[in-house]
């Protein structure tokens, strides 16, 4: 820019951990709000996002720098998205730049053009191509590709590996081509909107829910509480029809990538419109292309995990959040937003209907429904001949257990297998044993970096800390007394798998946990094996508990659940109840009746009795009354300051100084609890402490947090620790 060019003010945000925006100068015409520019920030050239054209700046004019360049000729974020992000910045009290940049794919954060590029797509060469009936995965690949070209990443999410595609390419059935995606306007296609051949008959409850949601005008939040297998997805599909018919887009949020393949399949089977996904397993180019396809309107249905909420849409008409209770909708590091809560705000700002679906709604959502903020819709029956599973408590006190399995449970497993059914055993603890100890002297293999034991794994044999991910070889002798009598204590999924293989050698067994699903596509292959009857005994952690439909599973057993009954976190019972109901929902989902067995040393425990005899809704109402008496969320509001450092004293000093300056200035209605050490005080070599603020309303909580942040800005001790603020925390350390 020449010295004679008149310069005007721009206000931008940068992806830096500072709670402020920055002013720069620019020549006319000014880049529009929502455009990216490149700026000099310290020694670096960085990408910035324009959020305002201010009339004046607090920084003296002679100290303001001019921008280095303009990246976008048109805004990449429109006013609705900018308004949502501005609100989120204020509510979560986080660095504005890091909030705004959370809405941009990585390539846009790096300053790349917001445009499609050539991408490799797999094309079907012959629409009538067939392969051997034995090649199940190849058949599946051909079926998917008949709907149109897809990238390797998109196919992987559907459980189709590169090896399958290469095998089909050798047969001359598919080909990999470079192609630039072109925005398409599906609104003017002549093809029918839906494939009605697979549309089931709605139950009375489903029909009522669909009619009420379709009739909604403007912002209308619905809580769809439906028992597992009651047909919530069918309700989603039918309420989407009029929205799509009107040329509007639909956003469907799911908690985990593992749930997306079957969800995608259901939506693609029903609709003839473009369906896209957005999740962490996609590469940077795939994520940007999916993001652009929503922004330009060429995607009709977006199915994504938490971050998909911040994607810009050309014509968003409906938001659906499946499994709304799931804690993975809450970001646990960096910008700690809750996708469910921000989705409600986005729907409110745009005047849209939003549907929160769950078999086990969060206490917050149940409270909002009871308060009249949400309209509650319930599905209490399973469609067709599917029946509600029978619940059974097995008392394991004084019983000789075989790898955690009681004789009665083993007999029940044998009965179901003999009848040609599948059984599922749930244990939320991977590895062979949670600890390795010396039988001679009592030494236990502890992680050197955490206040935790190593978990003993046998496949392959090693010790693994599940908290800091440190691994070490299995010792041959006890380092304390040199004894070779090293034994495992406690129960893990590997041990259950080994025991059942010995008890029922004639049946196929599959274990599904994080250890044996690391390879891309392996999880989908395991699920395919379960569905086609390759495995009769299923063992898994919560990866296996959520959302999957296994029609031949007639017995589900929950092992070693007692730990959740006595946890210190006040949300622990809610999480256990939700997980138990989700696991139980895998039984009896088709025409076969199901049974759910909970093996416990505490069969008389009120929580277990309530869940198995009265169900989740009754349990939740009782628990909410207890929360109200204790003045805990959702009847109050919380914020959590976390701090960590390699020096415990530095962390304690930082939080203690914060309390000393903060507490005298707080109203009596705001509680300040701490500093308290985390349940695991030392993790990965870091000492961890926390400070909890609790207030009767959000306004007072926000004021207390802003005061605390102002105090931290003046603290020298803050420079010696890593600290964070979590508004509406769902987990404590």
Q: Among the residues of 331-402, which ranges form H helices?
A: 339-350, 363-370
State yes or no: pLDDT of 87 exceeds 90: yes
Cβ distance 251 to 278 under 8 Å?
no
Query: Rounded mean pLDDT of 168-191?
Result: 81
Q: Is the pLDDT higher at 351 or at 153?
A: 351
Query: Rounded mean pLDDT of 518-541?
Result: 78
Pair type for strands 7-13 and 249-253: unpaired
Q: Mind listing the pLDDT tens digit for each residue in 533-569? A: 888 999 888 777 666 777 788 899 988 777 777 777 8
Architecture per CATH, domain 186-379, reads as: 3-Layer(aba) Sandwich (3.40)
The per-residue pLDDT for 95 is 95
Phi, psi of 39 (to 5 degrees): -135, 160
Q: Which of 50-54, 194-198, 433-437, 582-586 has the lowest mean pLDDT?
A: 194-198
The per-residue pLDDT for 260 is 57
Q: Mind listing the pLDDT tens digit for each residue in 456-489? A: 998 888 999 999 999 999 999 999 999 999 988 8
Q: How confident is the model at residue 2 (pLDDT cuts 50, 70, 90)?
A: very low
Question: Is 527 strand, coil or helix?
Answer: helix
Q: CB under 8 Å to 163, separation ≥6 — which residues?
A: none
Query: Rounded mean pLDDT of 33-50?
Result: 95
Q: Mind listing the pLDDT tens digit for each residue in 607-652? A: 888 888 888 999 999 999 999 999 999 999 999 999 999 999 999 9
State yes or no: pLDDT of 77 exceeds 60: yes
Spatial CA neighbour of 75 closest among 104, 42, 107: 104
The per-residue pLDDT for 315 is 95
Query: Rounded mean pLDDT of 93-105?
Result: 95
Cβ distance 589 to 549 under 8 Å?
yes
- Spatial separation of the C-alpha atoms in residues 729 and 161, rounded to whole Å: 38
The per-residue pLDDT for 190 is 72
Q: How confident is the model at residue 591 (pLDDT cuts 50, 70, 90)?
A: low
Cβ distance 679 to 451 under 8 Å?
no
The per-residue pLDDT for 258 is 62
Q: Mind listing the pLDDT tens digit for each residue in 689-702? A: 999 999 999 999 99
Q: How many CB atoms lie under 10 A from the CB of residue 505?
A: 8
Following DSSP, what letter does each residue of 557-623 receive, concatenated?
EE-S-GGGGG-SSTTHHHHHHHHHHHHHTTSS-SSS--EEEEEES-TT-HHHHHHHHH-HHHHHHHH
- Spatial separation of the C-alpha atoms in residues 23 and 188, rounded to whole Å: 44
State yes or no: pLDDT of 596 exceeds 70: yes
If you compute the radius of gyration of the chain from its CA atoms, what whole number of angstroms results?
Answer: 28
State the average pLDDT for the chain: 89
Cβ distance 543 to 514 under 8 Å?
yes
The per-residue pLDDT for 18 is 92
Identify the sign of the CA torsion 208, 214, 216, 220. Answer: positive
Q: Is the pLDDT higher at 584 or at 643?
A: 643
Q: Which of 207-216, 278-287, 702-711 has the lowest mean pLDDT?
A: 278-287
State yes or no: pLDDT of 11 exceeds 90: yes
| CATH of region 637-727 | 3.30.70.360
The per-residue pLDDT for 1 is 43
Query: Rounded mean pLDDT of 499-507?
Result: 93
Inter-CA distances, 201 with 238, 271, 386, 549, Å: 11, 17, 14, 19
> To which H or E segment does residue 418 belong?
helix 407-418
Which CATH topology does 390-433+490-626 take?
Rossmann fold (3.40.50)
The per-residue pLDDT for 588 is 64
Spatial CA neighbour of 31 closest among 48, 15, 18: 48
The per-residue pLDDT for 384 is 66
The per-residue pLDDT for 22 is 96
State yes or no: pLDDT of 430 exceeds 50: yes
Please name every residue paired with 354 in a beta bridge, in sequence order, or none if there are none.
Answer: 221, 319
Q: Is the pLDDT higher at 146 or at 41?
A: 41
Q: How confident is the model at residue 385 (pLDDT cuts 50, 70, 90)?
A: low
Q: Is the pLDDT higher at 129 or at 73?
A: 73
- Spatial separation of the C-alpha atoms in residues 659 and 673, rounded to whole Å: 9
Please name every residue paired with 123 in a beta bridge, in sequence order, or none if there are none.
Answer: 175
State yes or no: pLDDT of 725 exceeds 50: yes
Query: Rounded mean pLDDT of 240-244?
Result: 94
Q: Among the residues of 436-548, which ranges form H helices?
A: 493-503, 522-531
Spatial CA neighbour of 628 closest among 578, 669, 570: 570
| CATH of region 7-109 | 3.40.1440.60
- Spatial separation of the C-alpha atoms in residues 489 and 438, rounded to whole Å: 10
Q: Mind listing the pLDDT tens digit for each residue in 352-379? A: 999 999 999 999 999 999 999 999 999 9
State yes or no: pLDDT of 586 exceeds 80: no
Q: Is the pLDDT higher at 199 or at 69?
A: 69
CA of residue 371 relative to chain centroid, distance: 27
Per cent of the chain over pLDDT 90 is 56
164 Rama class: left (phi>0) / alpha (psi -120 to 50) / beta? alpha
The per-residue pLDDT for 167 is 86
Question: Is 88 strand, coil or helix?
Answer: helix
Q: Mind listing the pLDDT tens digit for each residue in 311-359? A: 999 999 999 999 999 999 999 989 999 999 999 999 999 999 999 999 9
Query: Rounded mean pLDDT of 290-305?
Result: 94
């Amino acid at each position: 820019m020449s010295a004679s060019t008149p310069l005007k003010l721009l206000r931008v945000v940068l992806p830096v951990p500072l709670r402020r925006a920055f002013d720069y100068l620019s020549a006319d015409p000014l880049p529009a709000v929502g455009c990216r520019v490149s700026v000099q920030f310290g020694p670096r050239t960085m990408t910035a996002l324009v959020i305002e054209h201010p009339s004046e700046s607090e920084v003296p004019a002679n100290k303001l720098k001019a921008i280095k360049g303009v990246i976008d000729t048109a805004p990449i974020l429109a006013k609705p998205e900018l308004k949502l992000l501005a609100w989120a910045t204020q509510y979560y009290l986080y660095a504005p730049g890091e909030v705004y940049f959370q809405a941009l794919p990585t390539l846009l954060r790096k300053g790349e053009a917001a445009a499609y590029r050539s991408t490799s797509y797999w094309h079907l060469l012959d629409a009538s191509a067939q392969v051997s009936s034995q090649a199940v995965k190849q058949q599946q690949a051909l079926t998917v590709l008949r709907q149109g070209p897809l990238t390797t990443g998109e196919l992987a999410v559907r459980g189709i590996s590169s090896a399958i595609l290469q095998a089909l390419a050798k047969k001359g059935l598919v080909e990999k081509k470079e192609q630039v995606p072109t925005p398409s306007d599906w609104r003017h296609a002549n093809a029918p909107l839906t494939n009605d051949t697979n549309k089931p008959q709605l139950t009375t409850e489903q029909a009522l829910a669909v009619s009420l949601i379709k009739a909604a005008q403007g912002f209308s939040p619905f809580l769809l509480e439906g028992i597992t297998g009651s047909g919530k997805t069918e309700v989603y599909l039918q309420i989407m029809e009029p929205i799509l018919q009107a040329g509007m887009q639909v956003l469907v949020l799911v908690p985990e990538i593992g749930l997306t393949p079957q969800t995608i399949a259901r939506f693609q089977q029903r609709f003839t419109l473009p369906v896209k996904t957005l999740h962490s397993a996609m590469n940077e180019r795939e994520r940007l292309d999916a993001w652009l396809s929503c922004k330009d309107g060429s995607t009709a249905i977006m199915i994504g995990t938490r971050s998909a909420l911040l994607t810009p849409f050309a014509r968003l008409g409906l938001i659906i959040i499946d499994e709304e209770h799931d804690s993975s909708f809450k970001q646990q590091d960096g910008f700690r937003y809750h996708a469910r809560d921000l989705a409600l705000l986005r729907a409110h700002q745009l005047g849209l209907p939003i549907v929160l679906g769950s078999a086990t709604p969060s206490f917050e959502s149940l409270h909002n429904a009871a308060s009249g903020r949400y309209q509650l819709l319930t599905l209490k029956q399973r469609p067709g001949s599917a029946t509600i599973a029978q619940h059974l408590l097995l008392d394991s006190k004084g019983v000789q257990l075989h790898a955690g399995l009681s004789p009665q449970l083993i007999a029940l497993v044998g009965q179901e297998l003999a009848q040609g059914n599948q059984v599922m055993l749930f244990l939320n603890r991977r590895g062979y044993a949670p600890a390795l100890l010396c039988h001679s002297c009592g030494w236990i293999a502890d992680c050197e970096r955490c206040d935790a034991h190593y978990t003993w794994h046998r496949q392959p044999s090693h010790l693994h800390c599940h908290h800091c991910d440190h691994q070490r070889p299995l010792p041959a002798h006890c380092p304390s007394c040199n004894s070779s009598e090293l034994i495992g204590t406690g129960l893990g999924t590997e041990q259950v798998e080994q025991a059942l293989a010995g008890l029922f050698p004639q049946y196929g067994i599959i274990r599904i946990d994080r250890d044996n699903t690391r390879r891309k596509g392996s999880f989908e292959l395991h699920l395919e094996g379960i569905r086609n009857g390759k495995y009769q005994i299923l063992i898994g952690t919560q990866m296996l508990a959520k959302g999957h439909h296994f029609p031949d599973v007639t017995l589900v057993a929950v092992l070693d659940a007692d730990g959740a009954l006595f946890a210190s976190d006040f949300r622990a019972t809610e999480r256990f109840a939700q997980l138990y109901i989700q696991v139980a929902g895998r039984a009896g989902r088709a025409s076969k009746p199901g049974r759910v067995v909970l093996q416990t040393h505490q069969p008389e425990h009120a929580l277990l009795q309530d869940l198995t005899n009265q169900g989740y809704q009754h349990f939740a109402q009782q628990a909410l009354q207890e929360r109200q008496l204790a003045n805990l969320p959702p009847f109050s509001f919380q914020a959590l300051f976390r701090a960590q450092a390699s020096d415990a004293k530095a962390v304690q000093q930082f939080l203690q100084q914060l309390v000393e300056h903060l507490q005298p200035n707080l109203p009596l209605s705001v509680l300040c609890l701490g500093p308290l050490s985390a349940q695991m005080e030392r993790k990965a070599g870091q000492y961890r402490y926390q400070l909890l603020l609790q207030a009767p309303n959000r306004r007072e909580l926000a004021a207390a947090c802003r005061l605390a942040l102002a105090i931290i800005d003046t603290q020298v001790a803050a420079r010696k620790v890593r600290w964070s603020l979590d508004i509406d925390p769902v987990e404590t350390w």
